[in-house]
Amino acid sequence: MELLKVAGLFAITAVAEVVGCYLPWLVLKQGRTIWLLFPAALSLALFAWLLTLHPTAAGRTYAAYGGMYIAVALLWLHFVDGIALTRWDLAGAAIALVGMAIIALQPATSA
C-alpha cells in the first residue's frame, strides 16, 4: 500500500512538472500564446510543493522521484505527442520504476 501511495504522489508530481515544462516549449518552439507561461509557472510551483509532501530527505525524494518522472515523460510522449514507445522505452521505464521503489521503500535507519 505504501508503494501505491508514494507512486501516486510521484505520478501527480511528474505530471505537474511535465506540464510546467511543456507549456513554455509550446510558446518557444511552436509560437503559441505567451499566456501559456502563467499556467506553466503555476504548474511548476505545484510541482515544487508536491515534492515537499514526502517525509524523507529532499535528496532521497528527488532521486526516487526521477524514476517516476521517466515513466510519466514517456507516457506523455506517447499520449500527447503521439509517438509510439519502443520496447527500449518500456524497459528503461520499468528499470527506473524499480529503482524508484528500492529508494522510496528502503527500511528506515536511525542514523
**Residue 109 resides in a domain:** no
Res. 87: pLDDT tops 90:
yes
**Residue 52 resides in a domain:** yes
Q: What is residue 110's predicted lDDT score, i.e. its pLDDT?
A: 52
Report the pLDDT averaged over residues 57-68. Answer: 84
Number of H-type helices and E-type strands within the chain: 4, 0
What's the total number of domains in the chain? 1
Containing structural domain, residue 11: 2-104
In angstroms, the Cα distances linking 71 to 13, 30, 31, 42, 57 are: 12, 25, 28, 22, 22
**Residue 9 resides in a domain:** yes
Band (pLDDT 50/70/90 cuts) for residue 33 is: very high
**Residue 110 resides in a domain:** no
Q: What is residue 1's predicted lDDT score, i.e. its pLDDT?
A: 67
